[in-house]
A and B are shown apart, each in its own frame.
Chain A
Amino acid sequence: MSSEIATSIPREDEREGTVRRPWRALAVQLLGPLTILGGLVWAVAQPYRIVLLDRAGQGIYDYLFQAPLLVVLVGLAFTVLIAPGLVEDLEVEEQRDPTA
Chain B
Amino acid sequence: MIPRPETAHWFAAAVSLLIGLLLVSEAIVGTEVFRRRAWRAYLFPSVVVVSSVGLWVITVFSTFSTMHLLAHAVWAQAALVAGAVELAIVRGKLRSPNWSLVPAFALLASGFAFLVHEPNTWLYSRSAFLHHAIGWMLVVVSIFPLLQALRPRQVAWRAGFALTFVLLAVLLFADRDAAPIFGRFGAGGP
Q: Give residues in A with beta carbon < 8 Å to B.
A: 24, 27-28, 31-32, 35, 61-62, 65, 67, 70-71, 73-75, 77-78, 82-83, 85-86, 89-90, 93
**Most-contacted residue by chain A among B29, B32, B40 (CB, 10 A):** B29
Residues of B within 8 A of A62 (CB): 7
Whether the Cβ atoms of A85 and B37 lie closer than 8 Å is yes
On chain B, the number of residues with a Cβ less than 8 Å from chain A's Cβ atoms is 22
Whether the Cβ atoms of B18 and A74 lie closer than 8 Å is yes
Whether the Cβ atoms of A86 and B14 lie closer than 8 Å is no
Whether the Cβ atoms of B37 and A35 lie closer than 8 Å is no
Q: Give residues in B with beta carbon < 8 Å to A.
A: 3-4, 7, 10-11, 13-14, 17-18, 21-22, 24-25, 28-29, 32-34, 36-37, 40, 173
Residues of A within 8 A of B18 (CB): 74, 77-78
B contact face: mostly helix, strand, loop, or mixed: helix
Whether the Cβ atoms of A27 and B28 lie closer than 8 Å is yes
Whether the Cβ atoms of A24 and B14 lie closer than 8 Å is no
Question: Which residue on A lies nearest to B174, using beta carbons?
Answer: A67
Whether the Cβ atoms of B25 and A70 lie closer than 8 Å is no
Whether the Cβ atoms of B28 and A74 lie closer than 8 Å is no
Bound Cα distance from A8 to B17, whole angstroms: 50
Whether the Cβ atoms of B33 and A31 lie closer than 8 Å is no
Whether the Cβ atoms of A61 and B7 lie closer than 8 Å is yes
Inter-chain pairs besides A31-B25, A93-B32, 4 sampled, C-beta below 8 Å:
A65-B7, A71-B17, A85-B40, A86-B34
Residues of B within 8 A of A93 (CB): 32-33, 36
Residues of B within 8 A of A83 (CB): 25
Whether the Cβ atoms of B28 and A70 lie closer than 8 Å is no
Whether the Cβ atoms of B37 and A32 lie closer than 8 Å is no
Residues of A within 8 A of B13 (CB): 67, 70
Residues of B within 8 A of A90 (CB): 29, 33
Q: Pick the contact of A74: B3, B17, B33, B40 (CB < 8 A).
A: B17
Bound Cα distance from A83 to B7, whole angstroms: 28
B164 to chain A, nearest CB (A): 16
Bound Cα distance from A74 to B24, whole angstroms: 14
